[in-house]
Structure 1
Amino acid sequence: MDRQREEMDRQREEMRRLSGVPQHLRSSFELLPPDMSELRVVLLGNSWSERSSVGNFILGETVFDTEEEPDRCLRVRGQLKDKEIVLINTPDLLSPNISADNLRKHVENCVRLSDPGPHVFLLVLQPEDFTEQLKQKIRRVLEKFGGRSFDHSLILISTPREEKPGFMEEYKQHPPLNDLIRKSKYRFLWRKNLELEELLTRFGQIVKENNGEHLKL
């Protein structure tokens, strides 16, 4: 029992530590290797509108239509400081109605668009809609990209449609979301009041943790 309590305390402390960006890492792309000219990011999640809104936020312009979801992956390229960033926005790969054949085709297309491989999977999740079934689905989708996909993953938790006091702590303890946060090595951010510099710094941290390498597909 004591060991279990110690482990829970350690996990809570890790979540608190990683819920904010350390002060010395504030310069967004300083962690990227100097010879790395392009950062490739795949957007996944349970809402096309939220994924597209985040993509537009990253690039500082409206490149994705948040209203109309296409039945294919979309790739856009933008310039951030001295680096290029490539975003691959996916259709709803978590839909319960998607066939195994369509899922395979979308993943194969995403792999082609992110060649030679993505550096980051940005999991944009709506907490009030995130169920155990969706957690299992996103795990299966990531596994189709490779066994080390979670080493390249960052969770971005959207602000609930009906915001209420204490919602951050409530949803952080929601079992399916909590499990996915642990699986992603406690890498997560809240969409509420998120600054671009903070998000880009997290991208840089993930690249550094993976020794500057993209996911081998």
Structure 2
Amino acid sequence: MLSCSKTNIFPYFTGQPQPLSGIRIVLLGQKCSGKGMAGDMILFKRLFGTAFNTAQSKRNLPHATCMKHEGDFNGVKVLVVETPGWFSDSSPPDWIKEEVLQGVSMCSPGPHVFLLVVPIFRSFTEKDLKAMVEVLKPLSERVWRHCMVLFTWGDWLSDFPVENYIVREGKVLQELLEKCGNRYHVRNPNRSDNAAQVTELFQKIIDLVKQNKGFFTTKLKQNRKRPWTYKQQQFIEEEWNKREEELIGKVMKALSNEPEKSTVSSAAHSMDEFLIPYCKFDMIRN
């Protein structure tokens, strides 16, 4: 079993070895997209729930804020930040972008993956793509290297393959996937094997971490200014390769030991999920 909090696994982009304390995830998407349920699925607990509404009410805030929860996957620490959603029929307000930046800071030293939540029960439009790009714009183009599309409400597909769904949806959805390196995962609330779904997702995240040699950080440009000798750079690369192998071996070993069955309800319970009837009507209307 892997204990990430005690093991130095990945170097930081400066080349200095830093401990990988676990997997850090940021969830982004519109209202009704299923972010809260996805977060609960990943953590095997009903944590996000009505947290948005409760926090907003207690602090008398004008809008929702990011919510962070942590869990454990067979010894691997998992941190999930859910960012507030925006309405599908309007452009994301500036405070949404600020909250996304806040969500990144809550994943210090940086998130390993941004899961862009896309509900299958409604078409993904040009306006939706522009909104997603706008929300991520303050993080620079580099952020797309760390993005993955998470399709929710996968039960709407029935036995229809997700690849066929992507083709049927057309160029807009395909453009989003291309920006994410064609990385995606489907969350099906009707499947009883929740642990298997999370295992598959974590395997894809680990592949992404290996490809990027670390997590997303806004400090990359500053770190690149630090000079390194050839021998130092060679040592850094050797350490990267060594710790990549250690990361993959240990985390995959943890992933092979499935946790107990999830007790998470498939019912909608996040602030963004309170508007599901509206969303279904919106789908029919469009």
* 1:59 alignment partner in structure 2: 43
* 1:33 alignment partner in structure 2: 9
Q: CA deviation at 1:88?
A: 0.5
TM-score, normalising length: structure 2: 0.58
Q: CA deviation at 1:113?
A: 1.3
* 1:176 alignment partner in structure 2: 172
Q: CA deviation at 1:78?
A: 1.2
Mapped contact 1:151–1:210 kept (Cα < 8 A): yes
* 1:119 alignment partner in structure 2: 112
Give distance in 2, aligned partners of 1:125 and 1:45. Answer: 7
* 1:101 alignment partner in structure 2: 94
* 2:135 alignment partner in structure 1: 141
Give distance in 2, aligned partners of 1:183 and 1:77. Answer: 28
Give distance in 1, aligned partners of 2:97 and 2:163. Answer: 36
Distance 1:207 1:198, change over 3 A: same
TM-score, normalising length: structure 1: 0.74
Give distance in 2, aligned partners of 1:99 and 1:57. Answer: 26
* 2:184 alignment partner in structure 1: 188
Distance 1:178 1:99, change over 3 A: closer
Q: CA deviation at 1:183?
A: 1.0
Mapped contact 1:45–1:92 kept (Cα < 8 A): yes
Give distance in 2, aligned partners of 1:176 and 1:74. Answer: 29
* 2:223 alignment partner in structure 1: none
Q: Which amino acid aligns with 1:42?
A: V
Deviation track 1:1-27 (CA, whole Å, cap 9, x = no partner) reads: xxxxxxxxxxxxxxxxxxxxxxxxxxx
Q: CA deviation at 1:110?
A: 1.6
Mapped contact 1:47–1:125 kept (Cα < 8 A): no
Percent identical: 27
Highest Rg: 1 or 2? 2
Distance 1:186 1:102, change over 3 A: same
Counterparts of 1:69-88 in structure 2 under 5 Å?
71-88=64-81
Give distance in 2, aligned partners of 1:167 and 1:37. Answer: 36
Give distance in 2, aligned partners of 1:44 and 1:85. Answer: 17
Q: 3-state SS of the aligned residue for 2:141?
A: coil
Give distance in 2, aligned partners of 1:83 and 1:54. Answer: 18
Give distance in 2, aligned partners of 1:142 and 1:188. Answer: 17
Root-mean-square deviation (CA), in Å?
A: 2.8
Distance 1:100 1:184, change over 3 A: same
* 1:202 alignment partner in structure 2: 204
Q: 3-state SS of the aligned residue for 1:156?
A: strand
More helix, by proportion: 2
Give distance in 1, aligned partners of 2:204 and 2:50. Answer: 24
Give distance in 1, aligned partners of 2:97 and 2:130. Answer: 16
Deviation track 1:64-103 (CA, whole Å, cap 9, x = no partner) reads: 1169656111011112223211111011146555664322
Q: Which amino acid aligns with 2:140?
A: G
Deviation track 1:3-60 (CA, whole Å, cap 9, x = no partner) reads: xxxxxxxxxxxxxxxxxxxxxxxxxx9xx93641222100012245611111111111
Distance 1:72 1:153, change over 3 A: same
Q: Which amino acid aligns with 2:125?
A: T
The total of aligned residue pairs comes to 188
Give distance in 2, aligned partners of 1:90 and 1:153. Answer: 15
Mapped contact 2:36–2:48 kept (Cα < 8 A): yes
Q: 3-state SS of the aligned residue for 2:49?
A: coil
Q: Which amino acid aligns with 1:131?
A: T
Q: 3-state SS of the aligned residue for 1:88?
A: strand
Q: Which amino acid aligns with 1:44?
A: L
Q: Which amino acid aligns with 2:9?
A: P
Q: 3-state SS of the aligned residue for 2:176?
A: helix
